Amino acid sequence: MDRVYCGHSLRHGGRPGSDCAVHAPADEWKVIPFSAPLRAAAVGACVLLLSGQGAFAAPEVRREGVFSIGIPTADMSQAGLGDTTLPPPAAEVDVRPVWVLGAEGRWKEASDKLRALSRTYQGWQPPADLLAYIANGQREQDVREALAAEDWTKVLALLPPSLSGECEPPSELWARADALQGLADKAGMNEFYVRVLTTCRDPSLLAALANRAADTLDSEGIFRIVRVPSLAGSSDPEVARGYGVLLKADAWNRFQAAQAVGDIQAAGALAETSADARLILQAGWMFLEPDPARAARFFRRAADHHGGSDAWRGLAMAALAIGDHAAARSAIAQAEDAAEYDTLLARVDLDEARQVRQQGDWSRASELADRAAKLDPALTRDAQMASGGALLDASAKAYELGDLETAGRLARRASDYPPVQRAAEMRIGWIDLQAGEAERAAATFSRLYLAAPDEESAEGFALAAQNAGKLDSAAAIARAVGGPLASKVQAQYASAAFYQGDYLTAKALAPDTYAALEGVDHTLYRQSFSLRQQDGTRGENRMTGYASTTSAEIMRGASRYEAGLTLYRIDTGEAGGIGRDSFAAPMLGWSREGKTSLAVRIGLTPVGGGADPVMTGEAAATRRFGKHVGEARVFVRPRTDSLLAFAGDTGPNAELSGRVVETGARVLGRLDIGGGRALQADLAAAHLDGQETDNNSMVSAGLSASQSISRKGFDYLVTGPFYQYQSYDRNTNFFSAGHGGYFSPQKFHRAGWSLNARTEPLKDWIVKLDGAVAFESVREEAAPQFPLLPDPGALIGGGKSSGAAASLDLAMARRIGPEVIVSANLAVTASKAFEDLRAGIGFVWVPGGRAALVPSDLATDPFSPGSWIRP
């Protein structure tokens, strides 16, 4: 309750003043004027005094608290004056107006009136109590004016000195407190409150002082006050409450000091024992980041101590920090203004969405994230990132399980969220590519790359374009747009070349990508030895041949350059060694890998043989059309059916004949019909001519179907039926003058089943196998014995035959060291018409070494011109 302290309660006593001081413990010291009835009562008191009707008791000096107001008696007024001459009788000097002016607070006028009376009545002495009354009143008015003007120095100067061991009158006490606080005199305030709380005894005053001290003193002052014994040991409820306020302030100060120096453990220890909601709440905020679990305990205690909405907010944030989303929602629900916590609730939903996304509950994650965006639009982008990301995670899982349809559907849903739209569309592209929709995937990646050229879209675009057969289009975009696409396209060119067996191209495009291709572009030197044994009639189509081939190959980029010389020795088995011949066949070759592979070979045959040498050669081109293949060849090559056809021979009259050259073309197409199945067809036509031999022409056709069988360790393994047809205009399969000595049926049919296999390249060994069984039907017309002579002679030969046939061709190579490769081959053909055996062995030296073998390391057969070049 408010206390009223009247202005007369000064050290020397006095008459009732016109003002009384009122102090509320938390308010400033202020003045409330007396009412008119009180002023009348004061004037009446003066009249009674002058008329001698009686007097009130004098006030007790320095008594604290609220006390009665009295007017000093004459005896009290003279106590301190000693022996003086008595003034004129009071009746002669009317001082009542002076008292009245003082009672009205008109102290200057009262003082002026008193001086006027003194001048009027020479030698008259004013009453001592009146003098004290006016002096004290004037001083109190000056103090009030100084307080109002906030002239704190003047206030302190006007106040009388405090006496040791005594409690000041309340009006002086509060005025001094205001002045010291106004001057921010911390040391003075500390000393003041220690003194007054030690000397004063009134419980209400002590409680008011304690509350004010808690609000105004620094930590040092409060620290000293809480150790004042009279306060600590007081049993008065008001004092105890005030002391409790001081204890809370002291704990708060120590808490802040510990927090300021970073000693959060000391600050936490204070909070553990405190009942101050403010301190406990602050401890919660302090521990929120380093120890959210401990912060949650503080916030819970703060809420129990009526910490308000901040306590529930803090508890929700601490629960959120430790991932206890249920506790966070519970805290928000208990707050009085829970509806205003949508922003925090949105954060809880979003954080839980991220958590359950990590746990694989992508549907729940998307639901929570969408709800968070609705609660707090400011979180829209983060929420969309979480929701769209969850859908992408679900899509990735479906993709991993092979459920491409579900993966695509989820990815398309994710693409509706802008933060993950590009990632979702990227995923759609990969799914389409995996599903075999290469063209659609290429369109998606192309659009993404044009929008923002980056590594992933470039990678996807290049790969999809390669699978769709549109790598050249991707390369054009790379040249126009720039960015990483060019290198990705080149890598895909290299990859395509690598998996298609164009190893020189792959090495040239990506020198450091494929370790197995190390050394594949090194120069090599080859030496091979071959044997051919063909049965038949001695001196005619029987043949035993030997060949030694020396060659060198130089690789430059995707091109291979070859030069070599083959030495032949052929024996027909004729008695006396007549059917023997030796000759050479030099050659030059070039080939280039690529989408369209090219190969060219030229040579002379035979050099030093029985007939004049002629130039031979062959050019071939192979083109890939996606999974389909087309091939075309033109050739001028020798027939190797016999010594007569191959190198020519000298007749009985020393005439030279033979050395048949076949000039023609051949086209082949291979159609991939899916499922590892393929159809192949070929067509060829040729003209045959030789020295002193009858001309001939040939047409042939073939058709086959194959099924690819996937087996580990095989580059290919295919099997299937085939049919071949061949027809010559005339039969020249004889050895009389004018004939060529080569198989030339007018109707030849062959149908059978074949098996073709080759092991994986880029190993230390490689094996190739071609086998077939078939049924053959041959019809040969009779031919004139001497077709070029005017008299051709009798018809010879002719007839029909049929039977089974089989062939086996095996070739292998082995790397026996980094620089040395050994190769071998064996071929056997058996039919009703003839039998043929071929074998060979070769050695390859690769200076600088080679990491692995490639198919070109398998040696070619010098007795089979059709295998001399491989485009």
DSSP string over 719-774: EEEEEEEEEESS---S-STB---S---SEEEEEEEEEEEEE-SSSSEEEEEEEEEE
Residue 46 has pLDDT above 50, yes or no: no
| Alpha-helical runs (H) found in 52-185 | 74-77, 96-103, 107-120, 128-148, 152-158, 170-182
Digit-coded pLDDT (tens) for 708-723: 999 999 999 999 999 9
Query: Given pLDDT bands bounded at 50, 70 and 90, which one contains residue 65?
Result: very low
Query: Given pLDDT bands bounded at 50, 70 and 90, which one contains residue 405?
Result: very high
Query: Given pLDDT bands bounded at 50, 70 and 90, which one contains residue 441?
Result: very high
User: Cβ(194)–Cβ(226) under 8 Å?
Assistant: no
User: Which of 257-261, 315-319, 721-725, 798-802 is predicted most confidently?
Assistant: 721-725
Residue 24 has pLDDT above 70, yes or no: no
Sign, Cα dihedral of 53, 59, 60, 64: positive
Query: What is the per-residue pLDDT for 83?
Result: 43
Query: What is the per-residue pLDDT for 44?
Result: 37
**Domain extents for the chain?**
3-147, 276-509, 515-867
Determine whether domain 515-867 maps to CATH 2.40.160. yes
One DSSP character per residue, 88-115 reads SPGGGS--HHHHHHHHTT-HHHHHHHHH
Mean pLDDT of 149-161: 90
How many angstroms separate the CA atoms of 609 and 643, rounded? 10
Digit-coded pLDDT (tens) for 306-331: 878 889 999 999 999 999 999 999 99
Query: What is the per-residue pLDDT for 653?
Result: 65
Q: List 598's β-bridge partners, or say none.
A: 592, 621
Query: What is the per-residue pLDDT for 92?
Result: 56
Query: What is the per-residue pLDDT for 500?
Result: 87
Mean pLDDT of 136-160: 89
Which carries the bigger pLDDT value, residue 27 or residue 361?
361
Residue 298: which of 276, 322, 266, 328 has the closest Cα? 276
Residue 635 has pLDDT above 80, yes or no: yes
Residue 260 has pLDDT above 50, yes or no: yes
Query: Given pLDDT bands bounded at 50, 70 and 90, which one contains residue 651?
Result: low
Query: What is the per-residue pLDDT for 727?
Result: 98
* Eight-class DSSP state of 604: E
Query: Given pLDDT bands bounded at 50, 70 and 90, which one contains residue 610?
Result: low
Mean pLDDT of 77-105: 62
CATH superfamily of 276-509: Tetratricopeptide repeat domain (1.25.40.10)
Digit-coded pLDDT (tens) for 442-454: 999 999 999 999 9
Which carries the bigger pLDDT value, residue 287 or residue 78?
287
Query: Given pLDDT bands bounded at 50, 70 and 90, which one contains residue 654?
Result: low
Which carries the bigger pLDDT value, residue 847 or residue 211?
847
* Percent residues over pLDDT 90 in the chain: 55
Whole-angstrom CA distances from 88 to 85, 110, 116, 119, 125 are: 9, 20, 15, 13, 8
Query: What is the per-residue pLDDT for 226?
Result: 83
What's the whole-model pTM score?
A: 0.60
Residue 403 has pLDDT above 60, yes or no: yes
**Burial of 26: CB neighbours in 10 Å, binned 0-12, 13-18, 19+:** exposed
Query: What is the per-residue pLDDT for 134?
Result: 87
Query: What is the per-residue pLDDT for 160?
Result: 87
Q: Tokens in use for 830?
A: 């058996």
Digit-coded pLDDT (tens) for 275-305: 888 999 999 999 999 999 999 999 999 998 8
* Eight-class DSSP state of 684: E
Decide if 276-509 and 515-867 have a common fold.
Answer: no
Q: What average pLDDT does the structure give for the chain?
A: 85
Sign, Cα dihedral of 176, 177, 179, 183: positive
The helix (H) or strand (E) run that includes residue 808 is strand 799-817
Digit-coded pLDDT (tens) for 655-696: 788 899 999 999 999 999 999 999 999 999 999 999 889 999
Residue 70 has pLDDT above 60, yes or no: no
Mean pLDDT of 624-647: 91
Contacts of 383 (CB under 8 A, 6+ apart): 346, 350, 353, 369, 370, 372, 373
Digit-coded pLDDT (tens) for 452-484: 999 999 999 999 998 888 888 999 999 999 999
The helix (H) or strand (E) run that includes residue 623 is strand 614-625
Residue 738 has pLDDT above 60, yes or no: yes
Residue 91 has pLDDT above 50, yes or no: no
Whole-angstrom CA distances from 729 to 687, 695, 747, 792, 799 are: 10, 9, 10, 17, 15
Contacts of 514 (CB under 8 A, 6+ apart): 494, 498, 506, 507
Residue 476's Cβ-side half-sphere holds a number of Cα atoms within 13 Å equal to 5
Query: What is the per-residue pLDDT for 478?
Result: 94
SS3 825: strand
Digit-coded pLDDT (tens) for 513-549: 999 999 999 999 999 999 999 988 887 888 899 999 9
Query: Given pLDDT bands bounded at 50, 70 and 90, which one contains residue 63?
Result: very low
